Structure 1
Amino acid sequence: MAFTNSCYPRSISSHGKRQMTIEEFKQWLKQFDYDGDGRISKEELREALRSVGGWFTTWKSGRGIKSADTNGNGYIDDTEINNLISFAEKRFGVKIVMS
């Protein structure tokens, strides 16, 4: 999946994936927090994936929430974002690096 959103850097890693920092990933994801509660729901994550032309967005968003949501409340908050980063590197076709 290629990220085409303008907030994504256009550099390509040696693995052939789009590369961004953790902060860039968080900033991109937060723009889909439509209700402004500081958390990402399954529906918001699905919209984020759709915005970059993702396939199987319902499945991927469900798996992303399940993988990252350690407290089981159905949302990804700031304390769980690193869990989503790990999932994103495997499933979203992006390489996330330290700033």
Structure 2
Amino acid sequence: MRCIRLEPNRSMTVDEFKAWLRTYDDNHDGRISQEELKEALHGLKIWFGRWKTKKAMESVDSNHSGSIDNAIEMERTYMGVY
């Protein structure tokens, strides 16, 4: 169960975003898959979540592993979402 809720019109800091995104690492492998990112964005009720997920993965997955698997990629994801 996800425990972070945002108040309307409140943004997360990069560190809050990283901690929040890690709660979607369902298999606890330390990486965020495209499906996990899609679920996370859906949880934020972000418009066009599926499309944004695909675009985020294309731009941040630098080693083409199919997941966000390091801090730099996580920060790039934050920049792409906000």
Q: Describe the superposition over 1:35-87 as per-residue Cα deviations: whole angstroms up to 9, x where unpaired.
A: 11110111001101111222322211111111111111111022311211211
Q: CA deviation at 1:88?
A: 1.4
Partner in structure 2 of residue 15 of structure 1: none
CA RMSD of aligned residues (A): 2.0
Q: Which has the larger radius of gyration?
A: 1
* 4+ residue segments displaced more than 3 Å: 8-12
Q: How does 1:11-50 map to 2 (within 5 A)?
A: 12=9, 18-50=10-42
The yes-or-no answer on 1:82 pairing with 2:82 is no
Please state which structure has a larger fraction of its residues in strand. Answer: 1
Larger RCO: Structure 1 or Structure 2 (Cα < 8 Å, ≥ 6 residues apart)?
A: 1
Q: Mind listing any 5+ residue stretches in structure 1 that lack a counterpart?
A: 13-17, 90-99
Please state which structure has a larger fraction of its residues in helix. Answer: 2
Alignment coverage as a number of residue pairs: 80
- TM-score when scaled to structure 1? 0.69
